[in-house]
Amino acid sequence: MKYRHSFHAGNFADVHKQVTLLAWVAAAPSALHVARLDAQGNPADEGAWQTASSAVANTARDLLIAESSAGVSAIWREGESSAATARGVWLGAGAPQPLELGQAWGDAQSGRGNLALVRRGEGALALVRGPRESCEDGSQDVCFGFRFYGLSAAGASETGLGLRVPVPCDARAAQLVAPVLAAGPGQPWHYAVCTRSEQAPVLTVFSIDAERSYASARQVFAGCTPLGAGYFAGQPAFVAECQGSRQIARMASADAPFEIQQLDVRGLVCGPHGARVRLGSAWLGLDQPLDHLELLLDSSLSPPGSRAVWTGSVLLVARAQGKLVLDRYGCEGSELRQLSSPLG
């Protein structure tokens, strides 16, 4: 049985209640499932484990999930070639509402990262890599449309912001970053696309600040393979593999140059001040829920393809191993111990 999974960590419904969402698609029968976990990684309530939607094709991939104060949005790609589409579901107060995001790139061999999703105000913002398009500049390059969609209980609607990208990467082509507790659509946000320049990948990062009517575009990680993005220590950050060395590019502000740091020495360490993540010569304190931690952990804790979050008290790592496996770790003094799995 094949599983595709996504994590989302946050404390949106109640600032005093930390809730982690785990979403996965089981292939037989194909259905979307969502689990709500508390700060200890246990089911958050009686309805914590639920089948959110059975209308998921067995070709579904690139599953993502985000939660706002109004509800939960989950999106995925399904189908192949010209029939591929991006779809999803909105889980709010009423019955699940389908989300139709339009055509998507349908190469079944592509890696993850051709969809991106973040919380935005009371809904969510999605970035979808569409099918092949003309570059409209007379060049022989292969272009693809990348389109933004606002998601809410009312459905999915194009924002009008989009771009045509020549020769995008097969995996991690679309990335979105926004503050975990973004208060509304006026907050700054960032997105990135990976393209191949002279057969080598490069990441172009766009920063949008509506309040200042400011936008910028900068390139980073030339010749590197992007791995993903997150919001760490109050800063947007992008992570890539560069000739066998993992690196992180932090953004202190939309105007400042990237701060590049090596992550070859990394991992979660317990101590008298609680859990911290080692980032080379620096440290990141885990004093609040944090997702995308697979980017900052070594493979002994978070194997390739897994997803990891810090719930506020424990580390949860989801991975596919013939079935969905959910590992849980907690600090006991200065030692990180594996605890019983919430999946039993």
Which is more confidently placed, 297 or 161? 297
How many Cβ atoms are within 10 Å of 60's Cβ, its own excluded?
Answer: 20
94: pLDDT confidence band, cut at 50, 70 and 90?
A: confident
189: pLDDT confidence band, cut at 50, 70 and 90?
A: confident
| DSSP per-residue codes, 312-335 | SSSEEEEEESSSEEEEEEEEETTE
Listed residue (73, 20, 16, 11) closest to 310, CA to CA: 20
Q: Note the Cα 175 to chain centre separation in Å.
A: 8
State the DSSP H helix or E strand holding residue 219, giving kind and residue range, or none if neither: strand 214-220
Provide the whole-model pTM: 0.90
Residue range 13-60, pLDDT digits in tens: 322 346 888 888 877 777 888 888 899 998 887 666 777 676 787 778
Residue 256 above 90 pLDDT?
Answer: no
Provide CB contacts within 8 A for 134, sequence distance 6+.
143
Determine the pLDDT at residue 1. Answer: 33
Determine the pLDDT at residue 2. Answer: 43
Phi/psi region, residue 244 (left: phi>0; alpha: psi -120 to 50; beta: rest), is left
Determine the pLDDT at residue 47. Answer: 64
Please answer whether residues 221 and 261 qualify as being in contact, where contact means their C-beta atoms are separated by less than 8 angstroms.
no
Determine the pLDDT at residue 3. Answer: 46
Please answer whether residues 248 and 239 qualify as being in contact, where contact means their C-beta atoms are separated by less than 8 angstroms.
yes
Burial grade of 108 (CB within 10 A; 0-12, 13-18, 19 or more): exposed
Report the percent of the chain where pLDDT is more than 70.
Answer: 87
Determine the pLDDT at residue 150. Answer: 95
308: pLDDT confidence band, cut at 50, 70 and 90?
A: very high
Instruction: Report the chain's mean pLDDT, rounded to a whole number.
Output: 85
Burial grade of 57 (CB within 10 A; 0-12, 13-18, 19 or more): middle
Q: Please, what sign has the CA dihedral across residues 110, 128, 172, 291? A: negative
Residue 4 above 60 pLDDT?
Answer: no
